[in-house]
Amino acid sequence: EEAEGKIMIVSGTVFAIQGVSPEAAAAIKLEGYEGAYAALNPSCEITTLGGFADALGLKDELFFSAAYQEYLRIGAEKKAGMITYEINEDAERDALYGLIFSEAHRNAPLVSEEGHSKDAVLSFSTNVPLLGIDNKAFTLYPDGTVTTNLLMSGRRFEIGESTVQEIVEYVKTHFEAKETVYEAPKDDGTPEGTVVTNELVIEATQSESETRGE
Q: Model confidence over 45-99: pLDDT tens digits?
A: 999 999 999 999 999 999 999 999 887 665 555 567 888 998 888 888 899 999 9
Strand locations in the chain, DSSP E? 2-3, 6-7, 12-15, 25-30, 37-40, 63-73, 79-86, 110-112, 122-128, 133-140, 145-148, 155-158, 177-182, 195-197, 200-203
Cβ atoms 150, 132 nearer than 8 A: no
pLDDT in tens, 153-198: 889 999 999 999 999 999 999 998 898 877 654 444 444 444 443 3
Q: What is the mean pLDDT of residues 197-213?
A: 34
* pLDDT above 90: residue 146: yes
CA-closest candidate to residue 155, choices 31, 40, 76, 72: 40
Residue 15: is its pLDDT beyond 70? yes
Q: Residue 140: which of 175, 174, 107, 105 has the closest Cα?
A: 105
Tell me the whole-structure pTM to 2 decimals.
0.75
The per-residue pLDDT for 188 is 46
